[in-house]
Amino acid sequence: MNAAPGSPAPSERVLVAQFGVARMTVRQALDALVVEGLLERIPGRGTFVAQPRSVAGRITSFTEDMRRRGLLPESQTLTARREQAGTGVARALDISPGDCVIHWRRLRRADLQVMCLEDAYLNEVLLPGFLESGMPTSLYDALAARGLRPTWAEDAVSADHATQEEADHLELRPGDAVMRVARRAVCRDKVVEVSRSVFRADRFTMHVQLGAG
Amino acid sequence: MNAAPGSPAPSERVLVAQFGVARMTVRQALDALVVEGLLERIPGRGTFVAQPRSVAGRITSFTEDMRRRGLLPESQTLTARREQAGTGVARALDISPGDCVIHWRRLRRADLQVMCLEDAYLNEVLLPGFLESGMPTSLYDALAARGLRPTWAEDAVSADHATQEEADHLELRPGDAVMRVARRAVCRDKVVEVSRSVFRADRFTMHVQLGAG
DNA sequence: CAGTGGTCTAGACCACCGA
DNA sequence: CGGTGGTCTAGACCACTGT
């Protein structure tokens, strides 16, 4: 059970007594929670559970994104196999053309409605046994479990018309509006994911928060 | 003159001696610079000037965005007048319906090519005499000059087909692909800008950087 | 080894808030 | 007024780095 936003945390001096520790130590611990946005200090009043602030520019996966909207995310794997990287994918993944990559194509739904067709390319070397371990629902959860959650990502977002193939998968007519998102996700100087997603424009609006909250 | 990235900062104990202050105090001062990304600590080695990290999700205006791509941004004002806020704009600007707003419609070009049609709504109260002072090229420069540069912004990005009116301005045919961006920009709890932009999909790709560099 | 940052102690004084 | 967070002191020990 999480405490409700706005509810007071124990005062620093109370924690000092409770844990038999110096106040500077308590403050450093609280500071960490404050910079994480979990607590909020108000001078002269106390320390409180912060309003959940939408983290500026947080890197979200489709799964997290849909959940935050209160929708149920689902994935249907269309392709999951080893391939040799082409020149474009190789450059984006920072490997050599012909190197082994994992190609994972999924049709993604939210509340049973088709939302997005996604082609993800992963660096095989960083994810040994990934294909054999059973495909997870959330790629980012799987990466996190391996200590590879992206710390930085770059999206190229554009609008376009659906191709015939995309229309077939997304239950659209060719030429209908779609949003394309090309992502390059990095974890500590290692490119862990390169993906191209095609979203149904009528069902998806991307929300981007910029700057410091 | 700024110090070069990677150059060492004085050690904490040196600063203690130099300023006759406690080490905890020095550390707190340095901590502030570290969270700002100006310094980097390396245990056992020292404190160094950090590599300038690309600020995650920096709020950019059209002008800045185009310049960074090496294109020459231009704006043609189609409308610039006082209006009474409708309910939607009023809510977004955090004012009351009927309050006075500045409506600024511009056709925006990059290297002489039509790129975007933008409707910006500004809070009159925050920008006295704005319309009379001659319209700037960059709205964000003008806001910055008044100490109102946005510190936080939220974009809703979607793909769509151009309406007849949009097509006329953007030199498209109705139904061609466009990207819509609805922005709400905030400076210190004051909503300073609400805008809707329509970009030609064939000429514009939005780049978004997420996470900490 | 000497020097670095990381962490911790046990106090202290201040400005601010609410009753 | 008492309680809060904000800041500061003058030490201490640790793990780590480079030579």
DSSP letter string, A110-172: ETTEEEEEEEEEEEGGGSTTTGGG---S-HHHHHHHTT---SEEEEEEEEEEPPHHHHHHHT-
Q: Would residue A57 count as lying in a domain?
A: no
The contacts of residue B41 (CB under 8 Å, 6+ apart) are B30, B34, B47
Q: Which positions 114-173 of A are in contact with B (Cβ < 8 Å)?
A: 150-161
Nucleotide at minimal C1' distance from the B47 CA: C5
Looking at the C1' of nucleotide C2, which residue has the nearest alpha carbon? Answer: B44
- For chain B, the C-alpha Rg in angstroms (whole number) is 22
Candidates B158, B187, B196: best to mutate against A (most CBs of A within 10 A) is B158
**Structure-token pair, residue A30:** 């609280």
Confirm if A170 and A117 have CB atoms less than 8 A apart: yes
Closest CA to B149 of A40, A210, A207, A35: A210
Nucleic strand D near CB of residue B43 (< 7 Å): yes
Q: Would residue B68 count as lying in a domain?
A: yes
> For chain B, what is the mean pLDDT?
91
The contacts of residue A81 (CB under 8 Å, 6+ apart) are A102, A103, A131
Least confident interval from A119-123, B30-34, B78-82: B30-34
Residues of chain A with pLDDT under 50: 213
Co-location of A43 and A118 in the same domain:
no
The domain that contains A16 carries what CATH number?
1.10.10.10
Provide the 8-state DSSP code for B170.
Answer: H
Residue A161: other Cβ atoms inside 10 A:
20
Q: Would residue A213 count as lying in a domain?
A: no
Give per-residue pLDDT as tens, A123-178.
Answer: 999 988 888 887 888 899 888 888 888 888 999 999 999 999 999 999 999 999 99
**Structure-token pair, residue B91:** 């809510």
Residue B36 has pLDDT above 70, yes or no: yes
Give per-residue pLDDT as tens, B60-74.
Answer: 889 989 998 999 999
The mean pLDDT of B194-213, rounded to a whole number, is 89
**Structure-token pair, residue A203:** 């069902």
Confirm if B204 and B116 have CB atoms less than 8 A apart: yes
Strand segments (E) across chain A: 39-42, 46-49, 73-84, 100-110, 113-123, 152-161, 177-187, 190-200, 206-211
Give per-residue pLDDT as tens, B93-128.
Answer: 999 999 999 999 999 999 999 999 999 999 999 998
Co-location of A72 and A170 in the same domain:
yes
Closest CA to A66 of A111, A26, A29: A111
Specify the 3-state DSSP secondary structure of B88.
Answer: helix
pLDDT at A57: 61
b/e per residue, A13-51, with b = 16+ CB within 10 A? eebbeeeeeeeeebbeebeeeeeeebbbeeeeeebbbbe
pLDDT at A80: 95
Q: Would residue A208 count as lying in a domain?
A: no
Element holding B67 (H helix, E strand): helix B62-68
The mean pLDDT of B9-36, rounded to a whole number, is 93
pLDDT at B55: 53
Q: Is A2 on the interface with B (CB under 8 A)?
A: no
Q: Would residue B40 count as lying in a domain?
A: yes
Q: Do A158 and B151 touch (CB under 8 A)?
A: no
Looking at the C1' of nucleotide D18, which residue has the nearest alpha carbon? Answer: B45
Least confident interval from A150-164, B104-118, B129-143, B183-197: B129-143
- Its domain, for residue B172, covers 62-200
Co-location of B29 and B113 in the same domain:
no
Co-location of B45 and B88 in the same domain:
no
Q: Is A4 on the interface with B (CB under 8 A)?
A: no
As a whole number of Å, the end-to-end CA separation of chain B is 24
pLDDT at B53: 62
Co-location of B31 and B108 in the same domain:
no
Residue B31 has pLDDT above 80, yes or no: yes
The contacts of residue B83 (CB under 8 Å, 6+ apart) are B100, B101, B102, B103
pLDDT at B212: 57
The mean pLDDT of B175-194, rounded to a whole number, is 93
Q: Do A201 and B59 touch (CB under 8 A)?
A: no
Residues of chain A in contact with residue B150, where contact means CB-CB under 8 angstroms, are 211
Residue written as tokens 């018309």?
A161
Co-location of B23 and B120 in the same domain:
no
pLDDT at A213: 44
Q: Would residue A212 count as lying in a domain?
A: no
Q: Would residue B16 count as lying in a domain?
A: yes
Co-location of A81 and A16 in the same domain:
no
Candidates A157, A178, A202, A207: best to mutate against B (most CBs of B within 10 A) is A157
Co-location of B41 and B78 in the same domain:
no
Residue written as tokens 């600007």?
B93
Closest CA to B153 of B183, B182, B119: B183
Co-location of B178 and B90 in the same domain:
yes
User: Cβ within 7 Å of strand C: which of A 23-62?
Assistant: 23-25, 28-29, 43-45
Confirm if A41 and A12 have CB atoms less than 8 A apart: no
The domain that contains B165 carries what CATH number?
3.40.1410.10
Confirm if A46 and A8 have CB atoms less than 8 A apart: yes
Residue B211's pLDDT band, with cuts at 50, 70 and 90, is confident
Domains in chain A, number: 2
User: Cβ within 7 Å of strand D: which of A 9-28?
Assistant: 9, 11-14, 23-24, 27
pLDDT at B77: 95
Confirm if B209 and B53 have CB atoms less than 8 A apart: no
Co-location of A66 and A45 in the same domain:
no
Q: Would residue A206 count as lying in a domain?
A: no
Co-location of B186 and B121 in the same domain:
yes
Q: Do B156 and A211 touch (CB under 8 A)?
A: no
Co-location of B93 and B180 in the same domain:
yes
The contacts of residue A146 (CB under 8 Å, 6+ apart) are A126, A127
Residues of chain A in contact with residue B206, where contact means CB-CB under 8 angstroms, are 155-158
